[in-house]
Amino acid sequence: METHIPMGTDSLIRPSDILGLVDVQPTFMPGGELPVSEGDLVVPVINGLLASAFAHAFATQDWHPAGHLSFASAHPGKQPYETVELPYGTQMLWPDHALQGSPNAAIHPALDLRRVEVIIRKGFDPALDSYSAFFENDRTTATGLDGWLRQRGFRRIFLTGLATDFCVAWSAEDAVRLGYEVVLIEDACRAIALPTAPGRTTLDDMRTRLTGLGVRFVRSDGLRA
Q: Can you give the residue ranges of every domain in the chain?
A: 11-65+99-222
Class in CATH terms, 11-65+99-222: alpha beta
Q: Are 121 and 133 in contact (CB under 8 A)?
A: no
Q: Are 34 and 73 in contact (CB under 8 A)?
A: no
pTM: 0.94
Task: Single out the catalytic residue among 17, 23, 40, 62.
Answer: 23
* pLDDT above 50: residue 3: no
Task: Single out the catalytic residue among 122, 129, 174, 189.
Answer: 122
Out of 60-64, 76-80, 221-225, least confident range: 221-225
Of 219, 221, 193, the C-alpha closest to 207 is: 193
Percentage of the residues of the chain whose pLDDT score is greater than 70: 96
- Does 138 qualify as catalytic in the annotation? no
- Does 167 qualify as catalytic in the annotation? yes
In the chain, the amino acid numbered 22 is: V
pLDDT tens figures, 107-157: 999 999 999 999 999 999 999 999 999 999 999 999 999 999 999 999 999
* pLDDT above 80: residue 67: yes
- Does 23 qualify as catalytic in the annotation? yes
Task: Single out the catalytic residue among 17, 129, 165, 167.
Answer: 167
